[in-house]
């Protein structure tokens, strides 16, 4: 945007990509249909006591059968793009080896259906649903998983590349490792300090080998999606400043530094102590693969203080009691989205950026036949989109924005108790109802952001 742009002019550049995001296990349902193999979230959710209310993804939003209706909804909202993930175990039920053509055909039909409506697919190859058969072989702790992932990716590239022009290797590897291997609150449910760095490294190897596979097979663009949470010190005390640096290294730089700079943050040695392994120079060279874009998922920030009891990072969040928080107790702070987009630009150099997830879980009142009124979610969207625009004006190479989420869905260990959707889903009837926030986002798309000046 040029320097003469009005402070109140929130129009985005022509060609800015407006979309919404989902993931396979959260919406598809029918996880074992048509020859699919089990995945770790199917196993985890069917283990008593691990997911709120005993919820599972067995039905979810029934998108596996209702995808045509959902595409019509996307068209009604005016989406130019749709980010979804592919379930690895639908394509390769055992994780390696035999390909399930019926699973591949589902995504083939979905992509064609999107393109028929003028909606560009952005495909994520891995959004947390590892085939159970690979988990039985060590999962992300097995170094061979990088090659397994590349093998699966090649199958998908050969089927869909050309019609799909934007690919993502992994979604939020930090969550895979932190929730799945260190704290055990997400699948596969391990709690082991020594496992976490190995899982981190193997996810990054898989990303790198996936990029290499795409360079050999594909003709368009591939990137990585990370979740970033800007850290701000709770005070100017040196201990709080050091704690903030540790927290930032652990959550934000642990994945970006290796993928974009070829090194791990030094703070990780301090955080993990003797659990931190040494990695070969060859491995570090491998991790730094050129990518075409970076996806950033942003939900909240963290005001951080030193806390010796909060292991392993020895840092904790200081809740800001006078600020709005979502139902997940995440502080609403739109300025941090602008800050993190500019920080990425400054630290890693100019790279095309997409906000690949941004959204909020708020209580939705009972719906009428034609509308769910959710003013807090609309307010959240308006202010975060303004923050994206400010980052763009200050030099971030913003290419698109994808709201999380298109539909209310299975929110992992929270089950169906939290709703992020632009579209309300009645899980008993599968009735979809566009929320007020969905209508608002549709107007943002129609006006290319100009309507953000109001309200």
Catalytic pick from 28, 172, 267, 411? 172
Can you tell me the distance from the alpha carbon of 340 to that of 227, in angstroms, rounded to the nearest whole number?
11
Can you tell me the distance from the alpha carbon of 92 to that of 132, in angstroms, rounded to the nearest whole number?
11
Tokens of 95: 């994780």
Catalytic pick from 28, 195, 357, 411? 357
Max distance between CA atoms of the chain, in angstroms, equals 60
Q: How far is CA 158 from the centre of its chain?
A: 24
359-376 in b/e form (b: 16+ CB < 10 A) is: bbbbebeebeeeebebeb
DSSP 372: B
Tokens of 299: 């939900």
Non-local (6+) Cβ contacts of 162 within 8 A are: 219, 220
Can you tell me the distance from the alpha carbon of 16 to that of 37, in angstroms, rounded to the nearest whole number?
37
Non-local (6+) Cβ contacts of 381 within 8 A are: 358, 359, 360, 403, 437, 440, 441, 444
118-138 in b/e form (b: 16+ CB < 10 A) is: ebbbbbbbbbbbbbbbbbebe
Secondary structure (3-state) at 220: coil
Q: Is 327 a catalytic residue?
A: no
DSSP notation for 105-160: HHHHHHHHHHHHTT-EEEEEEESS--BHHHHTTTGGGSTTHHHHHHHHHHHHHHHH
Using an 8 Å Cβ cutoff, are 231 and 297 in contact? no
192-217 in b/e form (b: 16+ CB < 10 A) is: ebebbbbbbbbbbbbbbbbbbbbeee
User: Which contiguous run of DSSP H or E holds residue 226?
Assistant: strand 221-227
Secondary structure (3-state) at 359: coil
Q: Is 172 a catalytic residue?
A: yes
Active site residues: 172, 357
């Amino acid at each position: 945007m040029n320097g003469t742009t009005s402070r109140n002019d929130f129009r985005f550049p022509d060609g800015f990509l407006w979309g919404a995001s989902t993931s396979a296990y959260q919406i598809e349902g029918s996880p074992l249909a048509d020859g699919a193999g089990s995945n770790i979230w199917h196993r985890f959710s069917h283990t008593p006591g691990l997911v709120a209310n005993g919820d599972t993804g067995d039905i979810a939003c029934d998108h596996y059968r209702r995808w045509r209706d959902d595409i019509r909804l996307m068209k009604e909202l005016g989406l130019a793009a749709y980010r979804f993930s592919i379930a690895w175990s639908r394509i390769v039920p055992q994780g390696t080896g035999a390909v399930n053509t019926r699973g591949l055909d589902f995504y083939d039909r979905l992509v064609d259906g999107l393109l028929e409506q003028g909606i560009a697919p952005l495909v994520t190859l891995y959004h947390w649903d590892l085939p159970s058969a690979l988990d039985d072989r060590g999962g992300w702790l097995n170094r061979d998983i990088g090659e397994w992932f590349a093998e699966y990716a090649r199958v998908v590239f050969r089927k869909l590349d050309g019609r799909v022009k934007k690919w993502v290797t992994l979604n939020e590897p930090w969550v895979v490792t932190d929730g799945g291997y260190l704290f055990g609150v997400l699948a596969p449910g391990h709690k082991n300090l020594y496992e976490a760095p190995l899982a981190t490294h193997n996810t990054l190897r898989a990303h790198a080998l996936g990029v290499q596979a795409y360079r050999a097979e594909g003709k368009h663009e591939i990137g990585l999606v990370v979740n970033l949470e800007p850290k701000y010190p709770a005070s100017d005390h040196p201990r709080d400043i050091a704690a903030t640096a540790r927290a930032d290294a652990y959550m934000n730089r642990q994945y970006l530094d290796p993928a974009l700079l070829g090194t791990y943050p030094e703070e990780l040695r301090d955080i993990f102590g003797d659990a931190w392994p040494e990695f070969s120079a060859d491995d570090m060279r491998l991790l730094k693969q050129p990518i075409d874009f970076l996806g950033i998922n942003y939900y909240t920030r963290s005001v951080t203080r030193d806390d010796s009891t909060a292991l392993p990072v020895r840092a904790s969040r200081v809740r800001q009691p006078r600020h709005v928080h979502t139902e997940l107790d995440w502080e609403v702070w739109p300025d941090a989205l602008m800050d993190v987009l500019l920080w990425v630009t400054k630290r890693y150099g100019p790279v095309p950026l997409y906000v690949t997830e941004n959204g909020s879980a708020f209580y939705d009142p009972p719906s009428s036949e034609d509308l769910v009124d959710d003013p807090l979610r609309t307010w959240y969207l308006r202010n975060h989109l303004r923050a994206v625009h400010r980052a763009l004006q200050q030099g971030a190479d913003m290419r698109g924005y994808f709201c999380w989420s298109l539909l209310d869905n299975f929110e992992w260990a929270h089950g169906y108790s939290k709703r992020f959707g632009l579209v309300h889903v009645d899980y008993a009837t599968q009735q979809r109802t566009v929320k007020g926030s969905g209508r608002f986002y549709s107007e943002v798309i129609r006006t290319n952001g100009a309507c953000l000046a109001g309200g």
